[in-house]
Amino acid sequence: MADDCIFCKIAAGEVPSTKVYENEMAYAFEDLNPMMPVHTLVVPKKHYRNVADELPADELAALFEAVRAVAALKGVDESGFRIISNAGADAQQTVDHLHIHVLGGDP
């Protein structure tokens, strides 16, 4: 865990969040500033800056297992959803902890 990382603190339960889903390696919670009716963030419990970091295959699989579970729990798995993960400042990543946005629902 990075000491100053808000997403590390959320995943560890040190900062409150609205939990949507959790598995052994990933944590999913509602975005505080949703862009669509469904806007959930999925983060690894370990600290990685972004998808360019070398994630072990099992942690990457756990992230996408969480994405699939979130889509089902939020009811957008059949109607469609979008996933976004920014990597670095030029991509407008604002929190330096790997996170995947799960977006869906009627705009």
Exposure string over 84-97, b if 16+ CB within 10 A, otherwise e = ebbeeeeeebeebb
The CA distance from 68 to 101, in Å, is 12
| Cβ neighbours of 50 (radius 10 Å) | 17
* Sign of the Cα pseudo-torsion (38, 33, 83, 20, in order): negative
Instruction: Provide CB contacts within 8 A for 52, sequence distance 6+.
Output: 87, 88
Q: Catalytic residue numbers?
A: 99
